[in-house]
Amino acid sequence: MAAAPPDDLSRLSLEEIAALAESRTLPPVEQWHPEREGEIDIRIAADGTWYHESDPIRRDRLVRLFSTILRREPGGGYALVTPVEKLAIHVEDAPFVAVEMKRAEGRLAFRLNTGDLVVAGPDHPLALRDGPDGALPYLHVRGDLWAKLARPVYYEVMNLALEQDPAGVTSDGAFFALEPAA
């Protein structure tokens, strides 16, 4: 069984965080094309809370498991996918929320609400995306799945971004402009 995800990045070095992020293996959901398709009453709210039949899913391990089989469909929807079944779900904004950030050694590392660790860089860019509250920074997680930055993380990132001209942040050798187009 895989180790439990860390609940606090402050105790880990950036090297340890990067190693944990890289060592995580996920099911190959992009390669699965099951014949059986349907829908399930699962919704991911804008705050990252997962619901089943209008009740919050309180078991973190279950949410974490579901997050590993989540995929964005070519038409823009989201689905939980296994080798034998694909079930459409509803996502209000982004399927993940970056709840913590650590900055060191020229890198920005993020912990998601699911416990996943992502180091921003060429493969995991930060980008402004239009949403109901205007242009906000999101972090690319995998495939076409993104993480919205929780409010405290958003403020941390934007404070860093405003120290540069043009506004943006650098992580793992990549610069991410975080200034809305005029």
Phi, psi of 65, deg, nearest 5 = -60, -50
| Cα 39 from Cα 174, distance rounded (Å) | 39
pTM value? 0.85
Domain limits at 148? 96-171
| Cα 136 from Cα 148, distance rounded (Å) | 8
Residue 123's CATH number? 2.30.270.10
Helix residue spans in the chain (DSSP H): 14-23, 60-68, 151-161
End of a domain among 41, 63, 91? 91
Residues 101 and 163 in one domain: yes
Question: Looking at this protein, which amino acid is placed at residue 9?
Answer: L
Residues 53 and 82 in one domain: yes
In a domain, 58, yes or no: yes
Print burial letters for 118-137: b (CB count within 10 Å at least 16), e (below 16): bbbbeebbbebeeeeeeebb
Residues 87 and 101 in one domain: no
Q: What is the pLDDT along the chain (182 residues), one digit of tens a residue?
A: 345 556 665 665 656 555 655 656 778 888 989 999 999 999 999 999 999 999 999 999 899 999 999 999 999 999 999 999 999 999 999 999 999 999 988 899 999 999 899 999 999 999 998 866 778 899 999 999 999 999 999 999 999 999 988 889 999 999 999 876 65
The count of structural domains within the chain is 2
End of a domain among 91, 111, 144? 91
Would you call 87 helix, strand, or coil by DSSP? Answer: strand
Residues 30 and 44 in one domain: yes
In a domain, 72, yes or no: yes
| Cα 1 from Cα 164, distance rounded (Å) | 43
Long-range contacts of 155-162 (CB under 8 A, 24+ apart): 156/101, 156/103, 157/101, 157/108, 157/126, 160/103, 160/108, 161/137
End of a domain among 70, 91, 112? 91
| Cα 94 from Cα 137, distance rounded (Å) | 11
Residues 104 and 132 in one domain: yes
